[in-house]
Amino acid sequence: MKRSTQRNVVSTDSESERGYYSDPPLLVLASLADGPKHGHAMIEDIFQMSGTRLGPGTLYGAITRLEQQGLIEPLAPEERRYPYRLTLKGAQVLRAKLSTLQRFARVGLRRLEAK
């Protein structure tokens, strides 16, 4: 990817206590990992998965960028709702990003426990 759009926002104490995490494009990619979903289903799934409720503007900002980058693609509409699915490139990018996060989290947690 040419430009990183990652944002990790920890805005309040209560949010940091429950491990609030916000990287909308990554959350959208992760939500589509188990199959196509439309916007509303993505918002609910991301909330279940990460505790982060994306606003409609944020979600469509991420969808616009991910589609431009060829990481997701739209499917035929179902009752006026447009589902999206991961492309092959999207799946590769998601795997690479999650692997990096996994390594990062493992090292971070190990350091915390060693304290």
Partner 1 sequence: MNRKLAEFLTSLYPRRWRQRYGEEFKVLLQDHSASFASVFNVFRGVLHQHLLFFSENNMTTIQRSIVLMGYGYLAAVAGGVNLYWTVDDTPLVDAMHSHTLLLGCWMLVTWASFLALAAVLAIAIPIVFATIRFALRARRRDLLIRLAIPPCIGGVVLLWIIGAALWNHSTWAPLPWAITGDWAAPASWPSLHVRWIEGCITLMLIGGGLIGSALSVKQTMRLSNFPLPHFLKIPTIILAGSIVLMAVGVAGWGLFSQQYASATFHARYGGLLGSSTFVSWMGSLSLFVAAAFAAVSGAKRAFLSDID
Interacting residue ranges for partner 1, rule: CB under 8 A: 38-40, 43, 55-61, 63-64, 68, 77, 80-82
User: Least distance to partner 1 from the beta carbon of 54, Å?
Assistant: 8
User: Least distance to partner 1 from the beta carbon of 49, Å?
Assistant: 18
Count of other CB atoms within 10 angstroms of residue 16: 10
Using the minimum distance from each CB to partner 1, give the nearer residue, 41 or 98. Answer: 41
Using the minimum distance from each CB to partner 1, give the nearer residue, 36 or 39. Answer: 39
User: Least distance to partner 1 from the beta carbon of 24, Å?
Assistant: 11
Distances (CA, A) of 84 to 67, 78, 91, 102: 9, 11, 13, 26
**What is the C-alpha separation between 36 and 39, in angstroms, rounded?**
10
Using the minimum distance from each CB to partner 1, give the nearer residue, 80 or 115. Answer: 80
Using the minimum distance from each CB to partner 1, give the nearer residue, 9 or 101. Answer: 9
Cβ–Cβ under 8 Å, residues 56 and 40: no
Q: What number of CA atoms fall less than 13 Å from residue 80's CA on the CB side? A: 0
User: Least distance to partner 1 from the beta carbon of 11, Å?
Assistant: 13
**What is the C-alpha separation between 27 and 42, in angstroms, rounded?**
9
